Structure formats: structure tokens, C-alpha cells
């Protein structure tokens, strides 16, 4: 398994590792032009690389996140270094059969939202095709912008990695790993029917060998880009299990000459992303939880908020001075690193402005606000309580969140620190005091019992 940081110093982004025998590099596509029209007739694996090159060979991907990789958040991440993004997982049957209101709330995009992977969960090939064609028709009907550019979809992505109970009940995501014939049929049908390239995102089996066979099968069925999360479907707790970079590396070694591979797992900050690509040979990386805490993760060359420092080690040393133990050294995976200092407040303000431009349900806005500010809220409980009390219309809610962000900024500036120091709440302190009193009463009862036994023994 890969170490936490594979290299002592940060690397720079490397060129995409494409086999020499593949087609020459293609220019990035213009929005509004058909991707397939720009890819010349060629064997499938060559087309996969030509397509990937045509959309810019993106390295830094916003992972699909239910209710959290919506358009406004995708655009925030793109503003700060992300070069590709996935939509939240869309239920193919619900979308295919849904009315306009449901579909409009489920999927939205814009001209600048490229390259874009639209992710579906599915257990029926025909339903997936129907849903994908419907979302394509929606995008085709969108008007061009003032420059004549149009929105577009670059890949239809099949979710083969969701490990949650709802996926088990619905028989989709990682639970299709129990029916490889169905997986094969879905991928083959989609790739042979749709005009949009099909990508897949998978989890690993317990063994390297099974994982490699699974990835190879999917590629042979026509998958154009393969995303690999280095955990099994049983490993749902990210704080309990590190992603296995060796399994991802084995997949890259097996199929990386045929299709681009995007690695996923343990990307908490920028140097993790670079280390993951360097270790596995993957053509890109994706992050989910890391980006929720720091949407600018992919745009940073050193640890966030430590501009005067030249290495992550120095940043970690500063954090250690204020909080023990250092969360980044915890095992097995350590804590996520939030944006430092007041940067979380700045990112939230930028995100709130984007939600004015791109309509976003308030439940998503609320969740993002808590994640962007969350670590500091553990220190400033009064600000956290104010955040919890925010309510009202979308505009009222945004304005209240802006006030919360300004209050938190003032608190952070007064600390003269880049990192928060968690403080126990009054309730937590009371619980500790009660637990301490209980332990003292137990100890006293034991002492009394021992004294009584000693007295009886002396009679």
C-alpha cells in the first residue's frame, strides 16, 4: 500500500502518459462542436485516447457526490484548479421517466462546465441509454452563449462504485459486482448505442487479481475512461481504511495503455493528488471529501494558507504547535485538511455568489457551508450556533450565511493562527465531568468494599 506522501517534496503536474503508438495529440475541442465529429475513425482504444486528449486530458477531477457536486460547487472547484467534474449520481430510471421539474432539479450545466462527466446509476441497459439520450437532448436544446459556444456532455459515466445501503436495495453501484454479466451487458449496450463516450467508475475487489480482471472486462466492453476507487465496497468508512494505491497501480499497468485511468482515494490535499498519480501512473485523480473541506485543493502547490512555507512538512509542523496530535499523522488515514485561515470564508462567499447564478437547493448550500467552515466551527461554537439558526428564503439564507462568514473571519483573524484548535462544547464538558464523577463514585465504592472485606477477614 502506498505511503501517505510518496515523495518528500511536491512534484509538478506531469504530462499524460500516453503510449507512443497512439494517435497524435488533438487540439482541445471548442464548445458547440460534436466531440465524435472531431475523432477520426480508429480502433476503439485509439479513439479513447483521442477523445481524452480532445477534452484537454484533464488531471484533476471533481468526484461525483450525491447532492454535493452540483453545478455551483463544480464551478467553484473549476475556478480553483479542477480541470474536469462529475455530476451527482443520477438515478437512470427516475430520470428517464421523470417530468420536466424533476429533471431540471436533477441536472443542470453551463457552457463553462467542461469537460463534464454525467454519472448515472443503472441496472438496465435500455433504461441507461434512454436516460443518457434524454440528458443529451436537454443539453442540445440549451441556447448558445454570447460567443456562440454551447454547453455539452463529454462522457456518460456508469456508477459501479456506490457502496451505500440504498445501492444494495436498488441493485446498482458497487453491488453490480455480484453480476458481472449484467455489468458487461450494460457497458456494451451503452457504448454501442450512445454517441457520447462511456466512462465507468469502479471499486476494488478484495484481491488485486480479481480487481484487474474486473477492470479489464469493463475496458474490453468499450469503456473509454476508467475511474478506480482504491477501496472495496465494504470499506465505506474513509477514516478507518486507507485506499489501496497498489490495486490502482495494478489496474493502470493492466489497462492503462488502452484507456485513461483516473485514480481515487486518500486525496486530502494537493501533494496527495500528485503522489497518487506518481505512484500509480494514473492519468488523473479525483477527490470528493477533500474538495468538500477545501474546494481549492487542486489549485494549491503547497499546503493551503501557508504561503511562506515551502513544504507540507513545514505546514504540518505549524499545525502541530497548536493541536496535538497532528491530524495529518493519524492512522489509518488522518483528518481532512480544511482551507486555512480565512480562506474557507472566502470560498464560501464565492460559492454563495455562484448559487445566485446557478439555482441550488438550500439543503446543498447548507451542507457546503458546514463543510467549508466546519473545522473552525469546532473552535467558535457561538458562530456555529448562529449558522444552525440560519433560515428563510434562498436570498435571506444566503445573506445570513454571509454574515456568519464575516463573523467567523473576524474570529479567525484574532487568533493569528492558520489552523483551528477544537474546543469542547459545554455539553461535552458536562458529559466529561459526569463521567469523571461516576468513575470517582465507582472507585470509592470499591475502596469501601475492600475495607469491609478486610474488616470481616480480621474477625
Just list the catalytic residues.
162
Phi, psi of 383 (to 5 degrees): -70, -40
User: Any idea which residue has 497524435 for its cell?
Assistant: 24
Instruction: Specify the 3-state DSSP secondary structure of 62.
Output: strand
Using CB atoms within 10 A of its CB, is residue 418 exposed (0-12), middle (13-18) or buried (19+)?
A: buried
365 CB burial (10 A radius; 0-12, 13-18, 19+) = buried
Give φ, ψ of 436 to 5 degrees.
-65, -45
Angle between helix 381-388 and helix 394-415 axes, rounded to 10 deg: 180
The total of other beta-carbon atoms located within 10 Å of residue 13's CB is 14
Provide the 8-state DSSP code for 339. Answer: P
CA distances from 317 to 93, 300, 420 (A): 50, 18, 14
DSSP letters, 433-454, are HHHHHHHHHHHHHHHHHHHHHH
Helix (H), strand (E) at residue 86: strand 84-86
* Structure-block grid coordinates of residue 181: 454479466
Amino acid at each position: 500500500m502506498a505511503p501517505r506522501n510518496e515523495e518528500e517534496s511536491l512534484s509538478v503536474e506531469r504530462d499524460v502518459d500516453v503510449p507512443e503508438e497512439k494517435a497524435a495529440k488533438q487540439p482541445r475541442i471548442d464548445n458547440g462542436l460534436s466531440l465524435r465529429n472531431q475523432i477520426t475513425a480508429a480502433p476503439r482504444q485509439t479513439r479513447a485516447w483521442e477523445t481524452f486528449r480532445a477534452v484537454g486530458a484533464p488531471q484533476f477531477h471533481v468526484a461525483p457526490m450525491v447532492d454535493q457536486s452540483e453545478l455551483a460547487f463544480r464551478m467553484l472547484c473549476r475556478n480553483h484548479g479542477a480541470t474536469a467534474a462529475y455530476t451527482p449520481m443520477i438515478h437512470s430510471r427516475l430520470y428517464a421517466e421523470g417530468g420536466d421539474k424533476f429533471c431540471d432539479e436533477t441536472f443542470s450545466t453551463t457552457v463553462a462546465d467542461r469537460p463534464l462527466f454525467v454519472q448515472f446509476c443503472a441496472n438496465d441497459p435500455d433504461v441507461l441509454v434512454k436516460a443518457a439520450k434524454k440528458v443529451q437532448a436537454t443539453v442540445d436544446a440549451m441556447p448558445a452563449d454570447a460567443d456562440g459556444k454551447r454547453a455539452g456532455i463529454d462522457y456518460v459515466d456508469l456508477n459501479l462504485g456506490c457502496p451505500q445501503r440504498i445501492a444494495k436495495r436498488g441493485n446498482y453501484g458497487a453491488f453490480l459486482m455480484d453480476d458481472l454479466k449484467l455489468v458487461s451487458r450494460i457497458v456494451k449496450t451503452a457504448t454501442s448505442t450512445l454517441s457520447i463516450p462511456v466512462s465507468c467508475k469502479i471499486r476494488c475487489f478484495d484481491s488485486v487479481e480479481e480487481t484487474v480482471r474486473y477492470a479489464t472486462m469493463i475496458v474490453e466492453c468499450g469503456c473509454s475512461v476508467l475511474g478506480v476507487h482504491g477501496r472495496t465496497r465494504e470499506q465505506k468508512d474513509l477514516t478507518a481504511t486507507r485506499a489501496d494505491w497498489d490495486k490502482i497501480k495494478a489496474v493502470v499497468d493492466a489497462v492503462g495503455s488502452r484507456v485513461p485511468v483516473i485514480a481515487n482515494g486518500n486525496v486530502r490535499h494537493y501533494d496527495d493528488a500528485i503522489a497518487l498519480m506518481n505512484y500509480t501512473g494514473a492519468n488523473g485523480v479525483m477527490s470528493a471529501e477533500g474538495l468538500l473541506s477545501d474546494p481549492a485543493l487542486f489549485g494549491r502547490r503547497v499546503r493551503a494558507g501557508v504561503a511562506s512555507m515551502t513544504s507540507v512538512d513545514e505546514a504540518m509542523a505549524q499545525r502541530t504547535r497548536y493541536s496535538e496530535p497532528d491530524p495529518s499523522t493519524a492512522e489509518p488515514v488522518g483528518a481532512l485538511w480544511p482551507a486555512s485561515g480565512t480562506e474557507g470564508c472566502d470560498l464560501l462567499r464565492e460559492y454563495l455568489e455562484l448559487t445566485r447564478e446557478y439555482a441550488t437547493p438550500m439543503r446543498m448550500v447548507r451542507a457546503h457551508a458546514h463543510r467549508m467552515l466546519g473545522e473552525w466551527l469546532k473552535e467558535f461554537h457561538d458562530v456555529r450556533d448562529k449558522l444552525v439558526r440560519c433560515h428563510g428564503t434562498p436570498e435571506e439564507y444566503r445573506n445570513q450565511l454571509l454574515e456568519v462568514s464575516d463573523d467567523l473571519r473576524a474570529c479567525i483573524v484574532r487568533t493569528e493562527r492558520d489552523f483551528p484548535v477544537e474546543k469542547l462544547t459545554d455539553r461535552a464538558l458536562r458529559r466529561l465531568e459526569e463521567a469523571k464523577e461516576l468513575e470517582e463514585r465507582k472507585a470509592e465504592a470499591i475502596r469501601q468494599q475492600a475495607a469491609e472485606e478486610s474488616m470481616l477477614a480480621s474477625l
